[in-house]
Amino acid sequence: MLYLTRNGSLPDTRIVLDDYGAGFHLNKYLKALAEAGAEVIKTSKADDIYLESRVASLIAKREQQKVLEAISRNPEFQIDGISIGSGNAGDPNTLKWLKAWKATGQQWPWFVKRSFKTIREIEGITQEPKKSYPPIKEGLLSKEFRDKFES
C-alpha cells in the first residue's frame, strides 16, 4: 500500500493536507503512511498555516491557469467567439460559455465537472450527485461493472 518509498519507511517525511472532507480510502492511506513513520497533518486552511501546503496550492493554481489558457485558445472549445473565461462559475463569461455550449447539444467537454451545481442547474437536474467510492474514471469502466460496483 505504500508507494512513496521503496522500503516502506517514511521517517523525516511530513505530509500536509487541507481537510476538505477526505473520504474513507484517502484516510485509510494516510493512516498507513502515519504507521510507516510519516508525520501526517490534515487540517482546515492548511495553506494558511503550513508553508508546504501554501507552495503546493500556488503551484496547483499556476498549473490550472496554464490548462485554462490552453483551453481558451483552442478553437474546438470556442462557441461564436466565446471562450471559457476564467473557468469559475461566478465569472459571467464562463456562465455565458456554459449556456452557449449546452445550446449546441454537444456533450460537455472533459474539463467540465458535471456534478457542479451550475452544470446541474443548466441541465435542469435537481437531485444531488451520487459520488462513487472510490472515486474512479468512469470512462474506463463498463456500465455493467459500475452497476455491480455501486450495488
**Cβ proximity of 64 and 71 under 8 Å:** no
E-strand ranges in 24-72 read 39-43
Greatest Cα pair distance in the chain: 56
Sorted by where each begins, the domain ranges of the chain are 1-73, 77-151
For residue range 75-113, list pLDDT tens digits in order: 999 998 888 988 888 899 999 999 999 999 999 999 998
Instruction: Tell me if residue 141 falls in helix, strand or coil.
Output: coil
Instruction: Say what percent of the chain tops pLDDT 90.
Output: 44
